[in-house]
Structure 1
């Protein structure tokens, strides 16, 4: 069960700061992570690519047009090149290694964006001895499985195909099939709708819980929606507004 892993040791409901708190700092930067953690967030959601010289790089997009204003792919630049890029507020594109080192008590939810990112991500986690404070996931089941073969002790959430199988099984109320689809996983991290289906009805949340996984919903930025989903029994909110989410959780407590 997920509750047996140190990654899930803070009390629920969980607030996942989506790419940190990027209200006054660029997303996926050390400053954005610092801002979220200073508020009291326990979990930071990040995305990881690979640099041209084989480092795990914290970045969502595969190129730098949106966040850096340059027409270049992350995997075409070295980690040193990326460290020199000014994203604003004195921030650069960080490596996973420096991120884990900078925040040794934070828990990180890591989305593997490419196959090339798997090996350097595993190496950075091993070097930082961070196995107990990371969750590895990917939309790709192939990437997720490859990473878990190298780090079988870490927490993990459902890939796109694994969740789709579980979701479709709930349509016909096939509890054993839901449990089989989610076997070996610790969470589903999902939008409110997928495949044209509402994913977080009370019955579906109950089915996922019966399969032994937590339910985390992304990306929820409105306090009213956060409260509504928490009322239904979800376990975590993935949000760009961790500040608002913490207030909602505190008010309900």
Structure 2
């Protein structure tokens, strides 16, 4: 049975990477993973927003990509060392802090693709997600962390969709390349999607064989992070199910044109 996360829109899916920050918004100081960025993605017509979860010093799950504030705000401290109130003050002129709970409650029609970045955030995030699990695809580069978050959601009665972490992706790619489909049977069965870059260095991860193997098992393939319209068009023509992009506007326009 298809998880409700996927039923919100037809493929190909556009996943707004850390929300959407236009050039004009960036000039006004708005940053990724802010309340304004999520709101802008929603306003642009994005059904799916990709974001990240960290835990503050006082236990608040917030949408933030990096483990520290340096790249986004110039502050060298880690998210884990800052209380939510202080982080809210820091983000006030950058589009506003958005917590995981606020995101899920303030944007009830948005489907979230959430990457749990910190071990400490896994269980708190899973508990918050549980009540909104029909609108969440939960993932992490760490499969162990991902499984802890999913277990916490299950404990609270929620069942989010999920995509594989590094070890799951490695297993299915290796099995596909070696023509050994049975070798990754458990890995395939555990996930609803594979979310991968087209290439990792010189290694091409996305191949026609991998796409066919995923689709044969009812697993979608989403590619990140794709900002050039020519690359978007090429990947969609190849059969990928979703594009994770910073250029939500261009991707939505491209998908709309393809559907006419």
Is TM-score (shorter-chain normalized) higher than 0.5? Answer: yes
The residue that corresponds to 1:141 in the other structure is 143
Extract unaligned runs of 5+ from structure 1: none
Deviation at 1:176, TM superposition (A): 2.0
Normalising to structure 2: TM-score of the pair? 0.91
The residue that corresponds to 1:18 in the other structure is 17
Query: How many residue pairs are counted as aligned between the two chains?
Result: 248
1:27 and 2:32 correspond: yes
Q: Distance in 1 between matches of 2:77 and 2:185?
A: 43
Q: Distance in 2 between matches of 1:223 and 1:202?
A: 20
The residue that corresponds to 1:97 in the other structure is 101
The residue that corresponds to 2:197 in the other structure is 191
Normalising to structure 1: TM-score of the pair? 0.93
The residue that corresponds to 2:84 in the other structure is 79
Q: Distance in 1 between matches of 2:248 and 2:183?
A: 34
Give CA-to-partner distance per residue, 1:36-93, whole Å, 9 cap, x none: 111111100000000011110110001101111112110001111111113635x233
1:5 and 2:9 correspond: no
Q: Distance in 1 between matches of 2:161 and 2:16?
A: 18
The residue that corresponds to 1:162 in the other structure is 168
Deviation at 1:212, TM superposition (A): 2.3
Q: In structure 2, which of residues 230, 233, 242 is the aligned counterpart of residue 236 of structure 1?
A: 242
The residue that corresponds to 1:118 in the other structure is 122
The residue that corresponds to 1:177 in the other structure is 183
Contact 1:163–1:188 (8 Å) recurs in 2? yes
Deviation at 1:195, TM superposition (A): 7.2
Extract unaligned runs of 5+ from structure 2: none
The 4+ residue runs of structure 1 with deviation greater than 4 A are: none
The residue that corresponds to 2:63 in the other structure is 58
1:88 and 2:90 correspond: no
Q: Distance in 2 between matches of 1:236 and 1:121?
A: 24
State the SS of the aligned residue for 1:216. Answer: strand
State the SS of the aligned residue for 2:126. Answer: helix
Q: Distance in 2 between matches of 1:179 and 1:20?
A: 34
State the SS of the aligned residue for 1:150. Answer: helix
Deviation at 1:122, TM superposition (A): 2.1
Contact 1:68–1:87 (8 Å) recurs in 2? no
Contact 1:169–1:177 (8 Å) recurs in 2? yes
Give CA-to-partner distance per residue, 1:152-195, whole Å, 9 cap, x none: 41100001110001101111111222433221210000000137
